[in-house]
Structure 1
Amino acid sequence: MTSGADLLRVEGLRITFSVLGGEVQAVNNANFRILPGKVTALVGESGSGKSAISQAVMGILPNVAKVGGKILFNDPTTAAKPIDLLSLEREGEEIRSLRGTRISKIFQEPMTSLSPLHTIGNQISEVLKIHTDAEKAERRARTEELLGYVGFANPKRAYDMYPFELSGGMRQRAMIAMALICRPALLIADEPTTALDVTVQAQILKLLRELQVKLNMAMLLITHDLGVVANMADEVVVIYHGQIVEAGPVEAIFRNPQHPYLKGLMAAVPHFDMKPGERLKALREVPVKAGTLLGTSAADRRTGPDVLLSVRNVSKTYGTRKSSWFGGGEDTLHRAVDDVSFDIRRGECLGLVGESGCGKTTVSKILMRAVTPDQGSVIFDNGEGSVDVLKVQGDDLKAMRSKIQMVFQDPVSSLSPRMTVKNILSEPLEIHGRGTGKSREETVRSLLQAVGLDQRFINRYPHSFSGGQRQRIGIARALALVPELLICDEPVSALDVSVQAQILNLLKDLQKELGLTCLFISHNLAVVDYMADRIAVMCAGRIVELAPREVLMRNPVHPYTKSLLAAVPYPDLDRPLDFELLKDSEGSDMRRWGPQFRDDDAGDALIPADLGGDHIVLARRSVDARELRP
């Protein structure tokens, strides 16, 4: 195929970054094409060169980058020959006239990509101000029209809103509007749904697909999520360490993958069809040598009462004051956790799922005593007598904290950049007065071995590790005090699919070998399905359904649970997302749930209905549980 038939053709692209001590080759002799009106997915792990390629196309590579090869752009609005984007002056008039008009980009993180000082409308209409002669009134009208099209219910009001007033999904919609305001021929979407909940992700994918078809626009979709690729792409390009290892139509890539790296990526993705006991196949396996870490075996940990932690009727309300600079205004109350009750059984992994803002993390903070609830009890019983976690004080509280530990969501910000691995892992032991200096160092070394890190790393700082390695350090720190309960708050949401597989396998191995009890919090249902024994589904501060994993996945009852499951993109061409069903999905909009699942003004309260087989769903008191059974 000649270059003239392609919208964009990358030929022999090489990108090298000059760093202290030498050069790093980010992209090595990359060749691929993007066809007019088609979606090309660029797939690979973090650091593989995906974003560097997109920056080269946009002409926004940093000054330390050296570029070779060609990027030929064949603008369909002109009859001229293809333009080599790399030959254009870096900040010249020609590249600036293309950037934002004919080639646009949606960036990965909508919060940091939008100016916090300007309204949404100002930022979108600025593109028109730079690239067109439209008057102010026309710019506003066109901006409001597009805001309405990308899903804002009230475009006139949205025009004057600031980014901090919008949810993550709505900020991403504003970014899409900004990229499309000049109707580009090519849209580059760099991980457009990575930070979003599964339901919001499905909405954004549906929107991008509709806009791409309506505007007959080509798209370069950069992602590491193979489920997104299967639902969006026409062609797929797989990149590994800066080299294109496989490329072709989406049918050929998914049904007959050839390269070992692509096969490995596919095997690393958790999915709902996994057999009991089946493991994810990580690209690089982590050797786990927990054994009898710190002299504790799994058999020792599983003795005691059946229920390790019992949460009853916990509620938490936050107040925000809407006031002017000079005082006044009224408090607005938001119930983050609303009458939540559940048990965590000894040796099990309980999954807690739901969208952002549903109260999952607040529950975890209450269990850790980082947040004090308005009411309720949290009873911990490890066989040494039951203790109310919310009432213990002094030395008893200090002892309790050693029995409940947490693995945080962000492996970067949760580790001090000024402390070595040795300091990080020995700090909990020092705080709780465990052992001597020499024995603590031995413990640190055994912890590193337990999570699959080389003991030579003991004096390194966090910045010298990858995201997956940093998360393993976070897990090791949580294990240092040999806790009874490990709370994992979205521990893999920031990681690539291949690194995610490593961490999930590591947690399963540690749970098995050490007899750990886990509360695993996530919005990724496929991940929870792989990890959990039972799953609790949370919406608007309440647990709306709780059941054994296989029951919840096969026979969900609550409308919200069904909508969550329907929004998960499968990495399978034969199971595409049903965008029409999603359009009518109940989601978290309680008005669209059946009357048996909604609050009744007449006083027919919602209570947990027992459907049998350890399956509980939140429904009206007057509803017969037999009517709810699937």
Structure 2
Amino acid sequence: MTSGADLLRIENLQVSFSLMGGKIDAVRNASLRILPGKVTALVGESGSGKSVIGQTIMGIQPRTASVKGRVLFSDPQRALAEPVDLLRLEQDGKPMRAIRGNRVGLIFQEPMTSFSPLHTVGNQIDEALRIHSVLTPRERQEKLEETLDLVGFSNPPKICNMYPFELSGGMRQRAMIAMALICRPALLIADEPTTALDVTIQAQILKLLRDLQSRLNMGMLLITHDLGVVANIADEVAVIYQGEIMESGPVDEIFRAPSHPYLKGLMAAVPHFDMKPGERLKALRDVVIDKESLIGKKTASVDKTQGVLLTVDNIGKTFTTRKSSWFTAGKATTTKAVDGVSFEIRRGECLGLVGESGSGKTTVSKILMRAVRPDEGSITFHSRTGDIDVLSAKDDDLRELRTKIQMVFQDPISSLSPRMTISNILSEPLEIHGRGDARYRAEKVRNLLKAIGLGESALNRYPHSFSGGQRQRIGIARALTLGPELLICDEPVSALDVSVQAQILNLLKDLQKDLGLTYLFISHNLAVVDYMADRVAVMCEGKIVELAPREALMRNPVHPYTKSLLAAVPFPDLDRPLDFSTIAKISATGKFDWGKQFRDSDDGGLITADLGDGHLVLANGNVDIAELRS
């Protein structure tokens, strides 16, 4: 196909960076195309060069980058003109500025850091129109509200006057899409547009992008590591590894007959619902665990029938917010973040806790860690030395509790101090709790690093010098320092690519088996929970709406909210596409579509119904159990 038939053609692109230790080739002789009105997905691990290609197309690559090759852009508005080589344009020159943000739009990966916190959403989206159009203020406002309506906002004038921090993650991503589309570009570059969004919001964003791309006849470069997203939205696929394009072609050929071992490896690393009991994810690079460095030669496995480790009984938490101005006091509003939540975690098991963003999952974890005090309810930790009241523990009981319950955080970058070496980070808990002398602590830290597959060379390095997966492994090692019985894992793999995710999930499963750990595993990815959990609790608007053994919940869900969550998981399988027609009914806001047996009403309130074999569901008290099962 000739260059003139393509919207964008990249030919032999090379991007390198000069460092003190030499030169790093971020992109090596990469070639790919984007057709008008089609979606090309660029797939690869973190660090493979995907985002560098997107930045180079936009002319926003770092000035230290050395770039060779050609990036030919054929603007449909200039159909008779020769394609423009974007690399020959000056980065800040007038011709490039006329294209960037106008004819080529970009959706950034993290909308919270891409928006200015000091300006309203409307002001920031309107900036592109002020730069690239000659419209009057009234015309710009009309175009702005029209675009916000296009991306799914029900009240565009209100959104215009809000600040980014007032919007949820999904709403911020919609606003970012509106900013990229305000000038109706011919090409849209979407850099990981759904990373770290929960499955329901991700499904809505994917539907939105597909509808807008079709409606506006845009070409799209979708940069992602999620093969499920690719299978549901892409027309063509290019697979990149260490800066080189390994395989490219139509999505049908790539998924049905992958030829390169790297692509096959990526597909094998994705957790899915068809996995057999005991089957492991095939990580591209396995982490070798040295369990003997932690527990000696004796295996510390735990029988899951040994009883309950943690009992949570009817906890509730309400937050009050007050929006004030200089001259008015403002009206207080209350939000019930956690509403009558009860569950047990059995010794040695993994309890999965799933739900949309804002459903109350993280608030529950903070209550368990005593970072947030609930308004009501009780929590009891059944230690081997006796029961501990978690909410009222003091002095020695509290110090013991801190050693028994530890947490693995969602974002290892912000949870590891950038000013401390790895040696300091791992030895700090030992120092706080007075464990051993300096020699003992140094030996313990070396054993921890060895156990998670990192050598002694990591001791004096800082967190920024490690990859995302390595940082998460360090976070897990820190949580294991004091020998806890319960690990609370709050979205530990949500921001990691599939290959690193497979590493971390396998590591957690191995540690559970070898150390006899108990997990509360919080996630929005039900395929990940299906791989990790023994039982699963589903949260919606602060309540647990369904709790059941993993197989029962995944294979035979009862509550409509659980069914909707499962329906929103994108499969890396062309024969199992997302049903976009049901996307609008997915979230908790679609509860009006739930049957009467699951809605609160005047003639019957909600109760937790027992369907047998540990399967509980929140339902109307007047409904027969047999009706729920059907």
Above 0.5 in TM-score? yes
One-letter identity of the residue aligned with 1:151: G
Q: Could you tell me which residue of structure 2 aligns to residue 438 of structure 1?
A: 439
State TM-score, norm by structure 1: 0.97
Deviations 1:147-178 (A, max 9, x none): 11110111222222222221111111111112
Q: Could you tell me which residue of structure 2 aligns to residue 8 of structure 1?
A: 8
Contact 1:3 1:72 in 2 (8 A): yes
Report SS of the residue matched to 1:101.
coil
Contact 2:311 2:343 in 1 (8 A): yes
Q: Could you tell me which residue of structure 1 aligns to residue 287 of structure 2?
A: 286
2:46 paired with 1:33: no
Q: Could you tell me which residue of structure 2 aligns to residue 47 of structure 1?
A: 47
One-letter identity of the residue aligned with 1:509: D
2:352 paired with 1:354: no
CA distance in 2, matches of 1:73, 1:303: 60
Report SS of the residue matched to 1:612.
coil
Q: Could you tell me which residue of structure 2 aligns to residue 522 of structure 1?
A: 523
Q: Could you tell me which residue of structure 2 aligns to residue 274 of structure 1?
A: 275
The aligned runs of 1:151-190 (5 Å cut-off) are 151-190=152-191
One-letter identity of the residue aligned with 2:334: L
CA distance in 2, matches of 1:297, 1:406: 25
Between stretches 294-303 and 357-366, larger displacement belongs to: 294-303
Q: CA deviation at 1:74?
A: 1.2
One-letter identity of the residue aligned with 1:614: G
2:425 paired with 1:411: no
Q: CA deviation at 1:83?
A: 0.8
The aligned runs of 1:325-340 (5 Å cut-off) are 325-326=326-327, 328-340=329-341
Contact 2:568 2:586 in 1 (8 A): no
Deviations 1:444-473 (A, max 9, x none): 122112111113322222122111111111
CA distance in 1, matches of 2:44, 2:288: 24
Contact 2:239 2:248 in 1 (8 A): yes
CA distance in 1, matches of 2:387, 2:151: 53
CA distance in 2, matches of 1:61, 1:255: 35
Between stretches 538-547 and 75-84, larger displacement belongs to: 75-84
Alignment identity in percent?
A: 70
Contact 1:297 1:513 in 2 (8 A): no
Q: Could you tell me which residue of structure 2 aligns to residue 392 of structure 1?
A: 393
Report SS of the residue matched to 1:13.
strand
Q: Could you tell me which residue of structure 1 aligns to residue 255 of structure 2?
A: 254
Q: CA deviation at 1:231?
A: 0.4
Q: Could you tell me which residue of structure 2 aligns to residue 551 of structure 1?
A: 552
Structure 1 unmatched runs, 5+: none
Q: Could you tell me which residue of structure 2 aligns to residue 615 of structure 1?
A: 615
One-letter identity of the residue aligned with 1:547: A
Contact 1:563 1:587 in 2 (8 A): no
Contact 1:296 1:514 in 2 (8 A): no
Q: Could you tell me which residue of structure 1 aligns to residue 346 of structure 2?
A: 345
CA distance in 1, matches of 2:406, 2:535: 20
Q: CA deviation at 1:333?
A: 1.4
Q: Could you tell me which residue of structure 2 aligns to residue 363 of structure 1?
A: 364
Q: Could you tell me which residue of structure 1 aligns to residue 214 of structure 2?
A: 213
One-letter identity of the residue aligned with 1:226: L
CA distance in 1, matches of 2:265, 2:312: 40
CA distance in 1, matches of 2:327, 2:88: 57
Q: Could you tell me which residue of structure 1 aligns to residue 426 of structure 2?
A: 425
Q: Could you tell me which residue of structure 1 aligns to residue 18 of structure 2?
A: 18
Q: CA deviation at 1:121?
A: 2.1
CA distance in 2, matches of 1:303, 1:532: 13
Q: Could you tell me which residue of structure 2 aligns to residue 98 of structure 1?
A: 99
Evaluate the alpha carbon distance shift between residue 298 and residue 536 of structure 1 in structure 2; reply closer, same or farther with a 3 A threshold: farther
The aligned runs of 1:457-496 (5 Å cut-off) are 457-496=458-497
One-letter identity of the residue aligned with 1:451: I
Q: CA deviation at 1:495?
A: 1.1
Evaluate the alpha carbon distance shift between residue 303 and residue 50 of structure 1 in structure 2; reply closer, same or farther with a 3 A threshold: closer
Report SS of the residue matched to 1:276.
coil
Instruction: Report the RMSD for the aligned CA atoms in angstroms.
Output: 1.6
Q: Could you tell me which residue of structure 2 aligns to residue 310 of structure 1?
A: 311
Q: CA deviation at 1:99?
A: 1.3
Contact 1:294 1:443 in 2 (8 A): no
CA distance in 1, matches of 2:89, 2:415: 43
Between stretches 265-274 and 106-115, larger displacement belongs to: 106-115
Q: CA deviation at 1:119?
A: 2.2
How many pairs are equivalent? 629
Q: CA deviation at 1:116?
A: 2.1
CA distance in 1, matches of 2:170, 2:564: 17
CA distance in 2, matches of 1:240, 1:300: 39
Q: CA deviation at 1:300?
A: 6.7
2:77 paired with 1:74: no
Structure 2 unmatched runs, 5+: none
Report SS of the residue matched to 2:131.
helix
Report SS of the residue matched to 2:128.
helix
Deviations 1:177-198 (A, max 9, x none): 1211222111100111113111
Q: Could you tell me which residue of structure 2 aligns to residue 117 of structure 1?
A: 118
CA distance in 1, matches of 2:467, 2:70: 31
CA distance in 1, matches of 2:280, 2:111: 34
2:493 paired with 1:498: no
One-letter identity of the residue aligned with 1:56: T
CA distance in 2, matches of 1:111, 1:404: 31
CA distance in 2, matches of 1:471, 1:586: 30
Q: CA deviation at 1:584?
A: 3.8
Contact 1:297 1:515 in 2 (8 A): no
Q: Could you tell me which residue of structure 2 aligns to residue 624 of structure 1?
A: 624
CA distance in 1, matches of 2:439, 2:159: 60
One-letter identity of the residue aligned with 2:450: Q
Report SS of the residue matched to 2:331.
strand
One-letter identity of the residue aligned with 1:464: S
Q: CA deviation at 1:599?
A: 2.1
Contact 1:305 1:382 in 2 (8 A): no
Report SS of the residue matched to 1:518.
strand
Q: CA deviation at 1:581?
A: 1.9
Q: CA deviation at 1:322?
A: 2.4
State TM-score, norm by structure 2: 0.97
Q: Could you tell me which residue of structure 1 aligns to residue 62 of structure 2?
A: 62
One-letter identity of the residue aligned with 1:154: N
